[in-house]
């Protein structure tokens, strides 16, 4: 869809580029950036004068004034060239654009008209794989898993909005020391106590203590890794029990979070492919055995990265081996344009090493591999989560607490128990998601459930309530927000003047397509969170100053109803990208 905002930004870029060339500056249109202005007295802004200043040995202020005058001359000669640009001014080196009220009316009507407002098709026909969540078999999902799960899900939503055919993939990890330790624990303690995934976790904690205290137990753990990879029947039987106890609860958590996968795979499936790649790397002189007998990828000779162990001395695989095999398998099956892995930033170097080694072996598609690393999740007080120590806040318990806290905040609002439960579910889970997604991926989170589910402040619950309140206004007016908004917009004359608050709200709504585009390209859901909060703040100001149902004229009433409908569209679509559902009432 040709959104008013996008087309106007492109027109501003063309005008700037043409005028710069006319002023004697050698620039390309794609190098000219036009962005939302950070000041209240302009709508769009460009900093190109600062970029050109050093090359031209001229003050940015003088360049901006020269270019602004040239643009104004072009607009005077052809007023229809950029009908939505009302004024162009130079201000302290910036070239600023002030847009017309007609632009904001057009942008708002587009928002109100579209069920998929903000989606674009730049990457239509391309395939993106997003691999996320990836819990370890043998361990319950804890609060640390929620970050990978909902961050990856939101990244997948953004790439889908950008036009990609997205494959959502869950890579379940079992072919390593952690599951080997649990299998050793089953043989050591017996399977009788294993009834739930929490029992499996307790076994893991117990066996870890024994392994740390007894070197012979550590050696046995390594033997069990080999047993798994060799498919020992007795080991496979116990592995199936561990899978049964731990994987089924994963699905319960995913259902509560509203997360779905197109494909789930176990890392053990990629042991043979990974070993084949190790052999290839050795044959090409890219890997060799060290003095300990471990096979090492020789990255230091070819890059600035440290060497990477890709096979143990006993011939068993590591994460690196299986990650290489998994990448090869993804390429062979999907021939992707982009493949994204969402894991903790502690693995940043690991994935750079894996990607580089794949590149060195001749995999041209290695440049299409991406890793989004995210910071750690700490409990209140700064305690790092640790499955080994048993210091785990289980995801199941977190979701229960979120719903209970949300329920406590609405218990006196007169809802039936059934309605209250539905609202608490939507608000609890939604607020939890927003509280985590709002933090940019690379930052750590000191987790507080009380803050995450608060109805006060910049929270998911606040955004959900804003949508519900806006829908109530439309409902009272008998305004059908689902009908084509072109019909509603037609009742608002294009020359209708906008108040300051009406204009500011329309301005924020108009920026939505660009906000989605930027977040999708950057794979950064926190940008959508920030944007949604700005829309909600603008709507709150508008709602306080601009009566809708009691507007001073029918013309104003229709205009404001359209703005309310546009707000609903922008916020609901933004929340959907974050995986957050808006309840019918709050």
Domain span including residue 422: 395-577
The stretch 561-565 carries a mean pLDDT of 94
What digits encode the pLDDT tens for the residues 77-131? 776 667 889 999 999 999 999 999 989 988 888 888 777 777 888 899 999 999 9
Instruction: Write the CATH number for 23.
Output: 3.30.1360.70
Residue in this structure with the two tokens 């089924």, named with its chain if needed: 248
Average pLDDT score, the chain: 90
What digits encode the pLDDT tens for the residues 358-385? 999 999 999 999 999 999 877 665 545 4
Say if 10 falls within a structural domain.
yes
What pLDDT does 377 receive? Answer: 77
Are the CB atoms for 546 and 498 separated by under 8 Å?
no
- Characterize the bridge pairing of strands 165-172 and 263-266: parallel
Say if 54 falls within a structural domain.
yes
Q: How far apart are CA 548 and CA 559, in angstroms?
A: 9
Confidence of residue 75 (pLDDT cuts 50, 70, 90): confident
State the sign of the Cα–Cα–Cα–Cα dihedral 514, 516, 521, 527.
positive
Instruction: Give how many domains the chain has, as a whole number.
Output: 2
Q: Picking from 141-150, 383-392, 472-481, 501-510, which range would have the lowest pLDDT averaged per residue? A: 383-392
Which one of 99, 114, 145 terminates a domain?
99
Three-class SS of 418-483: HHHHHHHHHHHHHHHHHHHHCCCCCCCEEECHHHHCCCCCCCHHHHHHHHHHHHHHHHHHCCCCCC
**51 pLDDT higher than 80:** yes
**484 pLDDT higher than 70:** no
What digits encode the pLDDT tens for the residues 382-413? 545 444 445 567 788 889 988 998 998 888 88
What digits encode the pLDDT tens for the residues 202-227? 899 999 999 999 888 888 988 898 88
338: part of which helix (H) or strand (E)?
strand 338-344
Say if 70 falls within a structural domain.
yes
Residue in this structure with the two tokens 């109530």, named with its chain if needed: 472
Q: Which residue has the higher pLDDT, 236 or 133?
A: 133
Q: What angle do CA 281, 287, 290 make, to 5 degrees?
A: 150
Q: How far apart are CA 322 and CA 173, in angstroms?
A: 10
What pLDDT does 446 receive? Answer: 82
- Characterize the bridge pairing of strands 287-289 and 263-266: unpaired
Write the burial class of residue 270 (CB in 10 Å: 0-12 exposed, 13-18 middle, 19+ buried). buried
**443 pLDDT higher than 90:** yes
Q: Is 524 helix (H, G, I), strand (E, B) or coil?
A: coil
**331 pLDDT higher than 50:** yes
Say if 512 falls within a structural domain.
yes
The stretch 467-482 carries a mean pLDDT of 88
- Characterize the bridge pairing of strands 94-99 and 44-46: antiparallel
**10 pLDDT higher than 50:** yes
What pLDDT does 385 receive? Answer: 47
Three-class SS of 126-186: CEEEEECCCCECCCCCEHHHHHHHHHHHHHHHHHHHCCCEEEEEEEEECCCHHHHHHHHHH
**70 pLDDT higher than 80:** yes
Which one of 99, 118, 145 terminates a domain?
99
What pLDDT does 154 receive? Answer: 98
Confidence of residue 486 (pLDDT cuts 50, 70, 90): very low
Say if 212 falls within a structural domain.
no
What pLDDT does 110 receive? Answer: 87
- Predicted structure pTM score: 0.90
List helix spans (H) across 292-341: 319-334
What pLDDT does 1 receive? Answer: 56
Which one of 75, 99, 123 terminates a domain?
99
Which residues, other chains included, contact 34 with Cβ-Cβ below 8 Å and sequence gap of 6+?
A: 9, 12, 13, 16, 44, 45, 46, 97
What pLDDT does 392 receive? Answer: 64
Say if 334 falls within a structural domain.
no
Confidence of residue 258 (pLDDT cuts 50, 70, 90): very high
What pLDDT does 483 receive? Answer: 61
First-residue to last-residue Cα distance in the chain:
33
**353 pLDDT higher than 90:** yes
411: part of which helix (H) or strand (E)?
none
Say if 50 falls within a structural domain.
yes
Confidence of residue 465 (pLDDT cuts 50, 70, 90): very high
**188 pLDDT higher than 80:** yes
Q: What are phi and psi of 501, to 5 degrees?
A: -75, -35
With pLDDT > 70 as the criterion, what percentage of the chain qualifies? 94
With pLDDT > 90 as the criterion, what percentage of the chain qualifies? 65
What digits encode the pLDDT tens for the residues 525-540? 999 999 999 999 999 9
Instruction: Write the CATH number for 458.
Output: 1.10.730.10
Q: How far apart are CA 88 and CA 67, in angstroms?
A: 10
Say if 262 falls within a structural domain.
no
Sequential DSSP letters for 233-258: HHHHHHHHHHHHHHHHHHHHHHHHHT
């Amino acid at each position: 869809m040709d959104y008013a905002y996008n087309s106007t930004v492109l027109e501003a870029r063309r005008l700037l580029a043409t005028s710069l060339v006319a002023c004697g500056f050698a620039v390309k249109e794609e190098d000219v950036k036009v962005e939302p202005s950070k000041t209240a007295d302009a709508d769009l802004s460009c900093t190109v004068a600062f970029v050109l200043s050093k090359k031209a040995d001229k003050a940015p202020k003088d360049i901006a004034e020269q270019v602004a005058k040239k643009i104004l001359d072009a607009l005077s000669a052809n007023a229809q060239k950029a009908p939505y640009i009302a004024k162009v001014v130079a201000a302290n080196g910036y070239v600023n654009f002030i847009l017309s009220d007609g632009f904001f009316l057009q942008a708002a009507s587009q928002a109100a008209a579209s069920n998929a407002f903000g989606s674009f098709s730049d990457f239509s026909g391309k395939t993106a794989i997003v691999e996320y969540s990836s819990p370890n078999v043998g361990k319950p999902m804890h609060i640390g898993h929620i970050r990978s799960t909902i961050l990856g899900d939101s990244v997948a939503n953004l790439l889908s909005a950008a036009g990609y055919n997205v494959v959502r993939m869950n890579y379940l990890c079992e072919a390593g020391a952690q599951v080997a330790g649990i299998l050793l624990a089953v043989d050591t303690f017996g399977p009788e106590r294993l009834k739930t995934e929490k029992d499996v976790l307790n076994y893991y904690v117990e066996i870890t203590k024994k392994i740390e205290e007894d070197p012979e137990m550590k050696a046995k753990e390594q033997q069990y890794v080999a047993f798994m990879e060799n498919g020992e029947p007795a080991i496979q039987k116990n592995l199936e029990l561990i899978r049964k106890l731990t994987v089924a609860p994963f699905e319960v958590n995913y259902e509560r979070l509203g997360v779905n996968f197109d494909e789930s795979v176990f890392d053990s499936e990629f042991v043979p492919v990974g070993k084949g790649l190790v052999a290839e790397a050795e044959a090409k002189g890219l890997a060799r055995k060290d003095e300990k007998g471990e096979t090492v990828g020789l990255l230091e000779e070819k890059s600035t990265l440290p060497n990477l162990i890709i096979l143990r001395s006993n011939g068993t695989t590591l994460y690196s081996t299986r990650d290489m095999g998994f990448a090869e398998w993804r390429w062979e099956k999907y021939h992707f344009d982009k493949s994204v892995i969402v894991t903790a930033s502690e693995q940043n170097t690991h994935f750079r090493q894996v990607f580089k080694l794949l590149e060195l072996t001749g995999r041209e598609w290695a440049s299409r591999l991406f890793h989004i690393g995210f910071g750690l999740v700490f409990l209140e007080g700064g305690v790092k989560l640790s499955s080994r120590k048993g210091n785990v806040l289980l995801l199941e318990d977190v979701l229960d607490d979120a719903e209970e806290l949300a329920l406590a905040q609405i218990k006196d609002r007169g809802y039936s128990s059934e309605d209250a439960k539905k609202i608490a579910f939507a608000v609890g889970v939604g607020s939890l998601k927003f509280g985590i997604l709002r933090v940019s991926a690379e930052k750590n989170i000191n987790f507080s459930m009380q803050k995450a589910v608060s109805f006060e402040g910049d929270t998911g619950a606040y955004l959900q309530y804003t949508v519900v309140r806006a829908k109530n206004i439309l409902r009272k007016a008998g305004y059908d927000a689902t009908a084509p908004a072109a019909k509603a917009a037609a009742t608002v004359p294009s020359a209708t003047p906008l108040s300051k608050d009406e204009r500011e709200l329309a301005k924020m709504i108009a920026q939505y397509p660009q906000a989605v585009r930027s977040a999708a390209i950057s794979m950064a859901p926190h940008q959508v969170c920030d944007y949604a909060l700005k829309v909600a703040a603008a709507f709150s100001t508008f709602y306080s100053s601009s009566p809708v149902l009691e507007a001073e004229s029918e013309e104003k009433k229709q205009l404001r109803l359209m703005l309310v409908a546009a707000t609903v569209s922008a916020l609901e679509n933004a929340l959907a990208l974050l995986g957050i559902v808006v309840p019918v009432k709050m």
